[in-house]
Amino acid sequence: MKNFRYTIIFNLLLVLFFCGFVYFQEAAAERKLQREIEFHADILAPSVWTLFTPLMEQYLTLAVKSNDYRQMQVTSQVDQNLLFYHHDLENFEKWLFDAGIIRLRKLSTPIVYKEQNIGHLKISAYNKNFYLYAYLSIVLILTSLLSWFVALLYRERKTLKIRVEEKTAELAENNQQLQNEIKERLIKEKALRESEQTFLALFDHSFQFIALLDLDCRVRKINKTALSFRDLQEKDIIGKQFWETPWWSHSEKLVQQLKDAFKIAAEGQVARFEAHSVQMREIYLDITIKPVFNEEGEVIFVIAEARDITEVRRAENELKQAQKMESVGTLAGGIAHDFNNILGGILGTLALLKLKRDKGQQLSEEKLFSSLDTITETALRAKDIVSQLLTLSRKYDLKLSQVNLYDILQNVLKIAENSFDKSISIDCQMSEQLPVKADSNSLEQVFLNLCINAAHAMTIMRSPGDAWGGELNIRVKSIYLDKQLGRKAGEYWCISIIDTGVGMDEANLKQIFVPFFTTKNKDAGTGLGLSMVYNIVKQHEGFIDVDSQPGKGSSFYIYLPICSDEKCRQVDESEVPLVSGEGLILIIDDEELIRSNAAELLEECGYQTMLAENGAQGIEIYRQQQGRVDAVLLDLVMPVMSGKETYAALKEIDPQVKVLLSSGFRQDTRVDEILAAGADGFIQKPYSFHQLSQAIGQLLN
């Protein structure tokens, strides 16, 4: 504001200067005109005196034009007009005059001649100081404008300076804030990097396969574990639909499982299933597909996790096998006793018959057939025991099918009755139709294990001095359960195995399913039995409840879904007709009995057969009969050439060869390898006539 005050003062001074200039200029002009008019009067005086008008007129004309007057008039001393000359302005100046911009200055002076006043000279002069004033005005206006401009500049400069200072301060503050933000950002970035590194470490180095999928099931991100598993590059996977990726695309079953699981996850639920693949090697994957929700609870991503549980499964199988062997060891004493009794019965009967023959005694036909029946019955009992032993020794293969719990429990009861201490009374109450979708071998293992545990609780686990013995009650009843965490709603079979053994306290009860946890002596248990039981039941979509009190015994409740589906209905093999067909079947098996039985059966069904006792012979026959052999029944385990080598050779001879693989060991990895290499089917020994006829029929059709 101070500079504007100076400017206002300066402009006032300019105005004062202008006014002063105008005043003095006007005064000077007035004086000049006064001198001029006096000069003109002096010149005109003689002419006026003589009234010589031509001369006066000439002078007036000359004076008016040369001095740019508007008018000169000579009057007498009584103001009578003597001479008058008028000159008008022209063009622009005329307009200025008419507009009042050019004004008139009027002066009058007496004409004196010989000391007499002889008249007056009057002049109307154009005051053309306007030009000077206009010029000066312009200069002053420009000067004023310049002063205002300078003042403005000064003010702007000052304002700018203030602004610059403010902005500088602001910038400094912002800079400080920015530096703080940068520091914070660096810290955050560092934290983010560390977090990202942590995340990537967890993500990429997790033992699990992890994939982030969008809602179209396309892969958004995949971890290195998954990539390294098949030696893949991220670019090969990103953007593809999850089931189109190389891990699963070979198996329609897997693809369908993934699609179903993704559908469940996309609807907001967790889907989990176990995948079994034998593409390159046998592998078990525990696959979980789970949704990721946003704050509104909407599913925005889906995470697919796959855990390679192949080793776990193998270990479990081995443990189960060991558990079976443990069970076999446990049962060996009782079985040996039974076998001795059986053998005793057979040998005794045979010895009796020999004795009578040696003595020449005539055996009646009735007595002979009675002895043979006794031997046959006793042998069949032995067969059952052997069969049960074989079952125990068989490797674990979770093969779900429609089975009857009744049969399974009957087998377990037979073993228990034959092997458990006689101080234990067994009571089993159940109906004869207990359909369930299960792996019968696994369930036998479960129930047998629980029964053995119960038996131990009532015998060897009792304190020294306590009497052995107790009651083992087995009950089966149906029950409907609502949906709860970890189980589906529906009808279940509740199999209760209740003993009156030593029981467990609460602390032990909480750990009974933990692997290697046992309350038995070191020699009596591995601690794996109940862990295996828990896993098998869970794999059957069932669950276990346990109730136990020390000194009062334990109650195990096994819940298994009732399979009421018509498809689950067990078909009596005897109801299935033999499948007839035509064609030449080459049977390659080192067991003569199996070869001959199979040949007899197939010929019974309408087929022609050729037999080979090993792989090399079979290959030779196939080569000789090339084009005629319609199918090959190939044993897996043979001397000279293994089934795998034989299959490879056959495939080399005829890539279209149809091979039905047979073995008593389905779990053998070689079976999977041959099937993966293109073998058309597998039949497990011992097979029935119906099973073989159906398998060959399906192969050829």
Distance in Å, CB of 115 to another protein, minimum: 13
Closer to another protein by Cβ: residue 77 or 269: 77
Distance in Å, CB of 142 to another protein, minimum: 55
Closer to another protein by Cβ: residue 53 or 321: 53
Closer to another protein by Cβ: residue 80 or 195: 80
Closer to another protein by Cβ: residue 50 or 197: 50
Contact yes or no for 467/341 (Cβ under 8 A): no
**Binding-residue pattern over the window 28 to 67 for another protein, x denoting contact by CB under 8 A:** -------------------x-xxxxxxx------------
Q: Which two tokens stand for residue 256?
A: 């369908």
Q: Which two tokens stand for residue 436?
A: 């369930």
Size of the site for another protein (CB under 8 A): 13
CA distances from 75 to 60, 110, 113, 115 (A): 13, 9, 14, 17
Distance in Å, CB of 84 to another protein, minimum: 16
78 belongs to the binding site for another protein (CB under 8 A) = yes
Q: What span, in angstroms and rounded, lies between the C-alpha atoms of 235 and 222?
A: 10
Distance in Å, CB of 43 to another protein, minimum: 14
The DSSP element (H or E) to which 671 belongs, if any, is: helix 669-677
Residue type, 337: H
Tell me the Cα Rg of the chain: 62
Distance in Å, CB of 51 to another protein, minimum: 4
Q: Which residues pair with 219 in a beta bridge?
A: 213
Distance in Å, CB of 81 to another protein, minimum: 12
Closer to another protein by Cβ: residue 47 or 554: 47
**Binding-residue pattern over the window 603 to 642 for another protein, x denoting contact by CB under 8 A:** ----------------------------------------
Closer to another protein by Cβ: residue 119 or 503: 119
Q: Which of 3, 67, 76, 691 binds another protein (CB under 8 A)?
A: 76
Closer to another protein by Cβ: residue 52 or 135: 52
DSSP conformational letter for 362 = P
User: Sign of the CA dihedral 623, 625, 627, 632?
Assistant: negative
**Binding-residue pattern over the window 188 to 217 for another protein, x denoting contact by CB under 8 A:** ------------------------------
Which of the stretches 74-82, 242-250, 314-322, 387-395 binds another protein when contact is defined by CB under 8 A? 74-82
Q: Which of 34, 58, 61, 80 binds another protein (CB under 8 A)?
A: 80
Q: What span, in angstroms and rounded, lies between the C-alpha atoms of 330 and 216?
A: 55
Q: What span, in angstroms and rounded, lies between the C-alpha atoms of 51 and 356?
A: 211
Maximum pairwise Cα distance, the chain: 219
Distance in Å, CB of 55 to another protein, minimum: 6
CA distances from 540 to 41, 431, 437, 535 (A): 146, 21, 8, 9
Closer to another protein by Cβ: residue 51 or 700: 51
Local structure of 591: helix, strand or coil? coil
Per-residue DSSP letters for 238-298? TTSBGGGSTTTTT-HHHHHHHHHHHHHHHTT--EEEEEEE-SSS-EEEEEEEEEEE-TTS-
Q: Which of residues 665-684 bind another protein (CB under 8 A)?
A: none
Distance in Å, CB of 47 to another protein, minimum: 8
Antiparallel, parallel or unpaired: β 401-404 and 283-293: unpaired
Which of the stretches 76-84, 240-248, 608-616, 666-674 binds another protein when contact is defined by CB under 8 A? 76-84
Closer to another protein by Cβ: residue 76 or 143: 76
Closer to another protein by Cβ: residue 50 or 521: 50
Closer to another protein by Cβ: residue 53 or 570: 53
Residue type, 690: H
Distance in Å, CB of 49 to another protein, minimum: 6
Distance in Å, CB of 101 to another protein, minimum: 40
Q: What span, in angstroms and rounded, lies between the C-alpha atoms of 653 and 628?
A: 13
Q: What span, in angstroms and rounded, lies between the C-alpha atoms of 368 and 250?
A: 63
Distance in Å, CB of 76 to another protein, minimum: 6
Closer to another protein by Cβ: residue 50 or 669: 50
Antiparallel, parallel or unpaired: β 116-127 and 69-76: antiparallel
Q: Which of residues 351-390 bind another protein (CB under 8 A)?
A: none
CA distances from 532 to 445, 447, 514 (A): 9, 11, 10
Closer to another protein by Cβ: residue 48 or 599: 48
Distance in Å, CB of 61 to another protein, minimum: 16
Give residue 511's Cα distance to chain centre. 35
- Residue of 468, 461, 471, 446 lying closest to 391 (CA atoms): 446
Backbone angles phi, psi at 427, to 5 degrees: -130, 125
Distance in Å, CB of 83 to another protein, minimum: 12
Q: Which residues pair with 284 in a beta bridge?
A: 276
Binding site for another protein (CB under 8 A): 47, 49-55, 76-78, 80, 118
